[in-house]
Structure 1
Amino acid sequence: MAQDQGGCMFLKMTLVFVFFVSCFQNSSESQDSLAEQAEATMKRAATYFRESVATHGGYVYHYSPDLQQRWGEGVATRDQIWIQPPGTPTVGMAFLDAYQATGDEYYLEAAREAAYAVAYGQLKSGGWQNCVDFNKRGARVNQYRNGKGGGKNNSSFDDGQTQSALLFMIKMDKALDFKDKTIHESAMVGLKAVLDAQFPNGAFPQVFTGPVTPQPMASSNFPSYDWRTAGRVKNYWDMYTLNDNVTGYIAKTLIEAHSVYNDPKYLTALEKLGDFLILAQMPQPQPGWAQQYNYNMQPIWARKFEPPGISGDETQEVIDTLLDLVEITGNVKYLKPIPAAIAWLKKSQLPNGQLARYYELKTNRPLYMQREGKVYSLTYDDSNLPSHYGWKTDSRIRELEQRVKRVKDGKPAPSLDSSELQASVETLIESLDKQGRWITVSQGERLVGQPKIAEGMSYISSETFSENLRTLSEYLSRSEK
């Protein structure tokens, strides 16, 4: 009887063991199967985008499903590619992520083609404009460093144009072991141009054609003139600029340059930029940041719908940049401006929780514009705002406070939960169509560089493609580990 009980117990234990081994094998096979599907999905999508969508190796923002229409900031021709995110550098870096996740040379060659397209469009002044026109007589052609083209030589930091191109070239240079002459020279010329465009106080202009003219040092202050009637400042793009995260994009580019080339001059430039951001913080009662400053460090007009004011959007972006600087340099002085800035953001929130793009100097009243024809006028009324501009922005106060705590504690940013990542990958696999496309159906949203488009309209998005490729790459990298 005892032997029978022992035999039963042994049999039960054996069955349990077999059950768990079977579960483990099934789970492992399922994981392998999803990874294989993810890799196949990525290859199909990348093949379609590289071989059907690209022109001259580059990309614009959006395409009609039949590829007969394409848009950057406005309608684009087949000879035009876009630099400004989410254009060619964004797509190129997604290809590079795919290569690093899989080791498949196909993605590296796709990235190299994009890098050559970007290098073609580098200006004589060393940076980039938002568009590259391969038609020598095209409407958007500029003075390219390769001697082809003509027109303007205005390198731009606006919306990350020069920065995204240069960041991509730096990453490609490293991926190719610094052996591709075209890409390496483009990166070196671009980085020198960026350093030459930095003012002694650490600031950068919006546009540059060569080294900047040194200006006297000053701290931020409120203008004594009547800013309401002063009007747009001529050549505001030559002055100190934060608009559209100019300094944040530059900081990320310098961080990458320092990491890849290990040259102290990039870290020095980065620290100077941080020192400028400290100087540019406005005094109480508005310890935030403006979009644009003159050489006396006073907020100024830019375009006719961009008045001097303290900006909710730029203030949040500057806080993020300061936290980047703390993480890279270890210098806690870049934390000091943040508490007052966050306190100002909290008291400046609109009733719906958002932040205004502009707050009136000293009074802190949300400031907007109304338009009749081509004439803009200042107003406190937000009921009839022009639709072409972001007059309000979502508050990220809680997110910023959490990041401040993480940085102080020396903790990394949280990564996407594995189950969420897997769910995203499963969705991407299912949503790729038979041609290898992720088709977006408009809900009437405003596209990058475009006004709102008709609800129900279908389009192909470079931004969506790049984000999806990065998600699949991250999943495959984790699976490999």
Structure 2
Amino acid sequence: MKRATRFMVETVATNGGYVWSYLPDMSRRWGEMEAYPSMIWVQPPGTATMGHLFLDAYHATGDAYYYEAADKTANALIAIQQDNGGWHYFGDFGGEASTRRWYDTIGKNAWRLEEFQHYWGNSTFDDAGTSEAMQFLLRLYVEKHDARYLPALKKALGFVLESQYPIGGWPQRWPLKSDFSHHGKPDYTSFITFNDDVAGENIRFLIMVYQVLGGDAKVMDAITRAMNVYLVTQQGQPQPGWGLQHSLDLKPIGARTYEPTALVTHTTAANIRQLMSFYRLTGEIKFLARIPEALDWLESVRLPADQVRNGRAFPTFIEIGTNKPLYVHRRGSNVVNGEYYVDYSPEHTLTHYSSFRAIDVAALRREYAALKASDPAEIAKDSPLHSGVAKPLPRYWLLDDIETSDLNTAGGKRDPQT
């Protein structure tokens, strides 16, 4: 392990940071897209993921070399942190001209990866990049209370607090910009975003801050509003689900051209899990109140047995108003001749963004029933939001398999949930 770490730190790293994959001779490298040698990737599993790994190794061995490796990784993230306090998908030590050249050549040809087709010049919550970077810096700070990390950490906290909408949700990118109207669709980056657990990851970071740095009223207010946004964005009957994004009038709205305006089954399931988590944190029964409606709605859109694909019994997208499944397809082969389109046919759907999902509704019902039968005060008694006592963060972070893009995985193997 030490030999592998030395290789990563002393040979592979760029100013302490990393991308996702490299050719053996280091002649080419990739994050979610091909990267310049001057780039490091923030989007997981990138630079902060490596930092967590090094800190885990330090905890397991007590060897200071791993702490020093984590410190180098933190310095790389701090170096590319934007003035607004957040991070982009990547940082480029080649400077602004190099970044713009990348967008003008590689990024603009991102067939399918539409988020790379335009350079907003701001920070993103997408894909947990900013979230993981913030969490890692917080974790490293509380390890030895090294004040060198505090300015970046405070900037990151300010970014989360300032970018939050009054109603409680967050946009995908901030500061807000609306200059990427593409394929006849509005710029989606200002919408309230649940996709990729944007709201959930920000809540997680804020709870960590509240838990280990002491109870700050502004942080608690942000957490409360963020939890409540899940309640106000749940749609009414007869379709009490959620979308990937919601407009500021709280209605589901589309994003990339293969993400139509629709209710979304896996997002609805994820938000149900979040509501149950909020009940455990607060003991407030309001977070359980409408879960049965959402579960019943999910069950109502379950596919017939002969349409289930590889155990995935739920269509991803459900048309608003009709409850019909929507299926996404594409034609062409690149950004010049290609396009995505939506219809009602389940044949020849996308492979990179599944039109079918595996959701264990029965398990969600069991979990809900157990919580509904619980004593609210008892279940929340040890909550970091209630105890008033600082609590340590988990000692180990990377206990599960690390997921990466199918573009970086041999054979294009994919998680059955995605």
Same-fold status (TM-score > 0.5)? yes
The residue number in structure 1 matching 2:124 is 156
Structure 2's unaligned 5+ residue stretches are: 103-118, 333-337, 383-398, 414-418
The match for 1:61 is 20
Match in the other structure for 1:313: 266
Give the superposition deviation at 1:141. Answer: 8.5
Alpha-carbon distance, 1:386 to partner: 3.0
Amino acid at match of 2:302: Q
AA at the equivalent of 2:35: A
User: Quick check: 2:45–2:404 contact (8 Å CA) kept in 1?
Assistant: no
Q: Which residue of the partner structure matches residue 269 of structure 1?
A: 222
Tell me: CA distance 1:330–1:65, structure 2 relative to 1, closer, same or farther (3 Å).
farther
1:235 matched to which residue of 2? Answer: 187
2:147 counterpart letter in structure 1: D
SS of residue paired to 1:289: coil
Name which of 164, 176, 180 aligns with 2:147: 180
| Partner in structure 1 of residue 98 of structure 2 | 138
Q: Deviations over 1:263-295 (max 9, x none)?
A: 232222111111111000011122111112222
Query: Are the equivalent residues in 2 in contact too, given 1:79–1:133 (CA < 8 A)?
Result: yes
Residues 369, 138 of structure 1: alpha-carbon distance in 2 compared, 3 angstrom cutoff: same
Contact in 1 for aligned 2:406/2:412 (Cα 8 Å)? no
- Residue pair 2:32, 2:408 contacting (<8 A) in 1 also: no
1:31-74, Cα deviation, whole Å (9 max, x unpaired): xxxxxxxxxxx434433333333222112122334443321111
How many Å separate the matches in 2 of 1:168 and 1:455? 29
Deviations 1:369-416 (A, max 9, x none): 22223233221112112333233232243443454456565499xxxx
So what's the TM-score if we normalise by structure 1?
Answer: 0.68
Which amino acid in 2 is paired with 1:289?
Answer: W
1:168 aligns with 136
Contact 2:235/2:241 (CA < 8 Å) preserved in 1?
Answer: yes
Letter in 1 for 2:288: L
* Separation in 2, partners of 1:112, 1:404: 42
Q: Retained in 1: the 8 A contact 2:243–2:252?
A: yes
State the Cα RMSD in Å: 3.0
Distance 1:383 1:307 in 2: 17
Residue 142 of structure 2 aligns with an amino acid whose one-letter code is K
Residue 124 of structure 1 aligns to a residue in which SS? coil
For residues 335 and 94 of structure 1, the distance between their equivalents in structure 2, rounded to whole angstroms, comes to 36
The Cα shift of 1:454 comes to 4.8
* Aligned: 1:293 with 2:253: no
- 2:62 and 2:54 mapped to 1: Cα distance? 11
Give the 3-state SS of the residue equivalent to 1:371 in structure 2.
strand
Tell me how far apart the structure 1 counterparts of residues 177 and 33 of structure 2 sit (CA, whole Å): 31
- Do 2:44 and 2:404's aligned partners in 1 also have CA atoms closer than 8 Å? no
Q: Output the CA distance in 2 between the equivalents of 1:341 and 1:129.
A: 34
Aligned position for 1:197: 163
Aligned-partner residue type, residue 316 of structure 2: R
Aligned to 1:448: 405
Question: Which amino acid in the other structure matches residue 225 of structure 2?
Answer: K
Shift in Å at residue 301 of structure 1? 2.3
Q: 1:201 to 1:65 in 2, by over 3 A?
A: same
Q: How far apart in 2 are the matches of 1:448 and 1:270?
A: 30
Residue of structure 2 equivalent to 1:390: 354
Report the CA distance between 1:195 and its aligned residue: 0.6
* 1:256 equivalent in structure 2: 208
Q: Which amino acid aligns with 1:236?
A: Y
Alignment partner of 2:55 out of 96, 101, 111: 96
**Distance across 2 between alignment mates of 1:316 and 1:407:** 16
- The residue correspondences of 1:347-366 to structure 2 (distance < 5 A) are 347-350=300-303, 351=305, 352=308, 353-354=311-312, 355-366=314-325
Does the 8 Å contact 1:153/1:209 carry over to 2? no
Q: Please name the residue that 1:220 is paired with.
A: none
> Is 2:344 the counterpart of 1:380?
yes
Q: 1:107 to 1:398 in 2, by over 3 A?
A: farther
Change (3 A) 1:95 1:282: same
5+ long unaligned stretches in structure 1: 1-41, 143-150, 213-230, 413-424, 426-437, 441-445, 457-481
> Could you tell me which residue of structure 2 aligns to residue 21 of structure 1?
none
Q: Provide the rounded CA distance (Å) in 2 between the counterparts of 1:235 and 1:89.
A: 28
* Distance in 2, Cα, partners of 1:339 & 1:53: 50
Q: Is the 8 A contact 2:192 2:248 kept in 1?
A: yes
Quick check: 349-358 or 268-277, which moved more?
349-358
* Separation in 1, partners of 2:192, 2:64: 42
Q: Which has the higher contact order (CA 8 A, sep 6+)?
A: 1
Shift in alpha-carbon separation, 1:261–1:236, aligned structure 2, 3 A:
same
Q: Distance in 2 between matches of 1:52 and 1:192?
A: 35
Map 1:66-85 onto structure 2 (within 5 A): 66-85=25-44
TM-score (normalizing by structure 2): 0.77
Alignment check: 8 A CA contact 2:42 2:91 kept: yes
Contact 2:86 2:123 survives alignment (8 Å): yes
Partner of 1:432: none
**Separation in 2 of the partners of 1:451 and 1:65?**
14
CA–CA separation in structure 1 for the residues paired with 2:100 and 2:68: 27
- Larger mean Cα displacement after TM superposition, 355-364 or 318-327: 318-327
**CA distance 1:402–1:113, shift in 2 (3 Å):** farther
C-alpha contact (below 8 Å) 1:134/1:141 kept by paired residues: no
Secondary structure of 1:58's match? coil
> 1:108 corresponds to which letter in structure 2?
Y
Q: Indicate how the Cα distance of structure 1 residues 360 and 79 shifts in structure 2: closer, same or farther if over 3 A, else same.
A: same
* Per-residue deviation, 1:452: 6.7
Structure 2 CA distance for aligned equivalents of residues 317 and 295 of structure 1 = 21
Q: Secondary structure of the residue that 1:317 maps to in structure 2? A: helix
More helix per residue: 1 or 2? Answer: 1
* AA aligned opposite 2:224: E
In 2, are the aligned partners of 1:258 and 1:264 still within 8 Å (CA)? no
| SS of residue in 2 equivalent to 1:368 | strand
Q: What do the CA deviations read for 1:195-250 (whole angstroms, capped 9, x no partner)?
A: 111111111111111799xxxxxxxxxxxxxxxxxx85422211212122211211
Distance 1:324 1:112, change over 3 A: farther
Code of the residue aligned with 1:305 in structure 2: it is Y
Is 2:76 aligned against 1:117? yes
